[in-house]
Chain A
Amino acid sequence: DVKVTQSSRYLVKRTGEKVFLECVQDMDHENMFWYRQDPGLGLRLIYFSYDVKMKEKGDIPEGYSVSREKKERFSLILESASTNQTSMYLCASSLSLLALAQDSYNSPLHFGNGTRLTVT
C-alpha cells in the first residue's frame, strides 16, 4: 500500500511566521502535489512537482513556495503566514503517466491524512 505521510496533523501559527509543511511518500512516485481544501471550494491545487527539483504552479500559488530536493519528499512553505491561509492542506503523490500504457493512464492520486493549519 502507498503511504503518504504529512509531518503534522494540526498546526497553529501566528500571522507573519514562516511555516513549513512536510510530506513524504514511500512508493517512488514521480509526481507530488499540494492541495488545500476549504468548505464550499473543494480541493484546489497549490503547486505540483513531476520530478526532483522540478516544480510548477497550480491554480492558487500566491503566498506559497515549494521544495523538492529528494524524490520522496515535497515541502510546502508559507513565507509569511496570513489568516486567509488557515485551511486543511493535503499532500498527494502518483505515478508519472509515462510509466503507464497510453490507453490506461489509471494513476490515482494517493493522499496523506492532511495538516489542519490555523493562522491567528
Chain B
Amino acid sequence: GQNIDQPTEMTATEGAIVQINCTYQTSGFNGLFWYQQHAGEAPTFLSYNVLDGLEEKGRFSSFLSRSKGYSYLLLKELQMKDSASYLCAVRGSLYGGATNKLIFGTGTLLAVQP
C-alpha cells in the first residue's frame, strides 16, 4: 500500500527552529512537496524535492533522502504566523507521464508559542 506518516502535532517557541518529519512508502517516487495550510484556508505550496539533499528557501528548508523514504521541513526563526498545518505530499508513479497526482499525509499542526 501507499503510506505517508507525519507527527500529528508539534509545539515550538517563537524565534526557535523546528523540524517536521515525513516518512513515505509509495509505489514509485517522482517528487515530494511541502504545503502550509492555515486554519480555514487553502494549502499553499512551500517547497519541492526530487533529488537527495537540502533545498533552502529563506527561513524554510526541505530535505530529502530517497533511499530512506524520508523528508523533513525545517523552519527557522519561527514567527507566530507560522502556526499552521504542514502537509507532506508525494508524487508516486506517473500516470501516462503527464498527470500530477499527489498523495498527502494527514498533516502536522504546528503551534508557535510566545
**Which A residues are within 8 Å of any B CB, using their own CB?**
4, 30-31, 33, 35, 40-45, 48, 50, 56, 58, 90, 94-98, 103-114
Contacts and interface: CB of A to CB of B under 8 A. Distances in A.
A42 B98 contact: no
Given A42-B106, A50-B99, A108 B42 contact: no
16 contacts: A33-B101, A42-B87, A56-B95, A96-B99, A96-B100, A97-B98, A98-B98, A104-B50, A105-B50, A105-B91, A108-B33, A108-B48, A109-B33, A109-B100, A111-B42, A112-B42
Given A41-B106, A113-B42, A96 B98 contact: yes
B106 A97 contact: no
A10 B88 CA distance: 26
B30 interface: yes
A41 B106 CA distance: 6
Interface residues of B, number: 27
Given A45-B101, A104-B50, A105-B30, A50 B106 contact: no
- The DSSP consensus for interface residues of chain B is loop
A42 B31 CA distance: 19
Contacts of B101: 33, 45, 48, 58
Contacts of A107: 100
Contacts of A111: 42-44
